[in-house]
Amino acid sequence: MTNRLRSEIEEEEIIEPQPVKQETPAPSSGSFISFLSKGSISKEAATEALPFIIFLAFLGMMYIGNRHSAENNIRKIDKLGKEVKELSWDFKTLKADLMFKSKQTEVIKRVDSVLGLRVSIKPPIKIKVVNNEH
């Protein structure tokens, strides 16, 4: 030990101990009920606030319903967009097939094989109608 004066040692012994603070118990499961029963919120005030609480609950349900409706609309829009793309591809494919099949050489091939018609070698004849009503 170090050299200290006896008066310093006596002063340290005279220091009074501080009282220990007691901790409050954790709120139990009925804390809301005890909160209401202790008088901080009276039963009358809670009853008066009930319509407002019901209104807030109604707004919450409307918000949730609106969200579900919006998500369903987004899904429908995506589905219709995919269907439009698919129909557009089908249209382009059919248009290209029609353009190919309507070429003169393709028409001649089909008519010759199905109906037995052939391309005429002779030029067309012009028919004149004479009106003799005098």
Write down the pLDDT at residue 59: 97
Query: Could you give the C-alpha distances from 62 to 27, 52, 78, in angstroms and in order?
Result: 34, 15, 24
CA atoms within 13 A on the CB side of 131: 2
User: Distance (Å, rounded) from C-alpha 32 to C-alpha 40?
Assistant: 11
* Angle at CA of residue 11, ends 6 and 17, nearest 5°: 145
> Is the pLDDT confidence value at 8 over 80?
no
Cα distances (Å, whole numbers) of residue 26 to 19, 30, 41, 86, 97: 21, 11, 20, 63, 80
Looking at this protein, which amino acid is placed at residue 86? Answer: E
The arithmetic mean of pLDDT across residues 4-18, rounded, is 63
- pLDDT 10s digits, 39-70: 667 788 888 889 999 999 999 999 999 999 99
Using one digit for the tens of pLDDT, what is the confidence trace for 85-133? 999 999 999 999 999 999 988 888 888 887 878 888 888 889 988 887 7
pLDDT at 96: 96
Higher pLDDT, 80 or 104: 80
Domain ranges of the chain: 44-115
Q: What is the pLDDT of residues 18-45, one digit of tens each?
A: 665 655 555 555 666 666 566 667 788 8
| Single pTM value for the model | 0.46
Radius of gyration of the chain from its Cα atoms, rounded to whole angstroms: 49
Please count the other Cβ atoms lying within 10 Å of the Cβ belonging to residue 111: 13
Instruction: Return phi, psi of residue 124, to 5°.
Output: -65, 150
Q: Which residue type sits at 78?
A: D
